Amino acid sequence: MSKSKTQVMLVDDHAMMRHGIALLVNMEPDMQVCAEAGDGSDALALLKRNRRIDIVLLDITLKTVPGFEVIKSMHLMLPDLPVLFVSMHDEEVYAERALQVGARGYVSKQEPSTVLITAIREVLKGNIYLSKKMHAKLLSKISSSYSEPEQSINTLTLSEFEVFHLIGTGHSSQDIARLLNRSVKTIETHRFNIRTKLNLKDGADLIRYATQWNLAELRKSM
């Protein structure tokens, strides 16, 4: 491997997606993919063995540990490691939360290939990369003063949103506690707070709502 090239790690549970991104990155004269992983645990193991990695391209939805948890573990090992989320999920819902957990940017898989390369280069410069639309939305949010909290998904904290997302993908409280390395009691507290914020009457209502929301997000990305 040439030491002069930017070393890129890919973390995505779809082998075909990793292959496509790797081809795209390796076409750049100053970049190359040096490591690939299909889940969070493999990614962390690779990172321990290869501290030369310059940037990580990370998906949100992985088979085992969610991407939001993987990035936290990565930053415990290498606090300055730049991570760029590359995901099929709606940027308007996930991008801000990605920044909250320490990502340097967010790119939708629906974007043209040139956008991904631009995002990588911006992040390597130390900048944050978001689409123009999302950047404008965040600036508007920062500059606006809210007299009342918006009663929607956006009122959830990062931890609550992680739990909400996993509920919608069919995970029980026990599953979520294991995936997020938290107690079942903590997860149940999050579930109660989510129901309160979203004005849902009971646990069944929450599961229904979370499942429908996740399906709607999936349809948007197709």
Alpha helices in the chain (DSSP H): 15-26, 40-49, 67-77, 91-100, 113-124, 132-143, 158-168, 173-180, 184-197, 203-221
All structural domains of the chain with their residue ranges: 6-133, 153-221
pLDDT band at 2 (very low <50, low <70, confident <90, very high): very low
pLDDT band at 222 (very low <50, low <70, confident <90, very high): low
Residue 148 pLDDT:
40
Looking at beta carbons, which pairs linking 196-204 to residues 24 or more positions away fall under 8 Å? Answer: 197/151, 197/155, 197/156, 197/160, 198/151, 198/152, 198/153, 198/155, 199/151
Intrachain domains 6-133 and 153-221 with the same fold? no
pLDDT band at 152 (very low <50, low <70, confident <90, very high): confident
Instruction: Say which residue, 26 or 150, is predicted with more confidence.
Output: 26
Residue 202 pLDDT:
85
Q: Which span out of 34-48, 81-95, 150-164 was modeled with the highest average pLDDT?
A: 34-48
Superfamily of domain 6-133: Response regulator (3.40.50.2300)
Residue 84 pLDDT:
97
Question: What tens digit of pLDDT does each residue of 32-73 get?
Answer: 999 999 999 999 999 998 878 999 999 998 888 889 889 999
Q: Is the pLDDT of residue 132 over 70?
A: yes
Which CATH fold would you assign to the domain 153-221?
Arc Repressor Mutant, subunit A (1.10.10)
Mean pLDDT of the chain: 86
Question: What tens digit of pLDDT does each residue of 164-212 get?
Answer: 989 988 888 998 999 899 999 999 999 999 999 988 888 888 988 888 8
Residue 146 pLDDT:
38
Percentage of the chain lying above the pLDDT 90 cut: 50
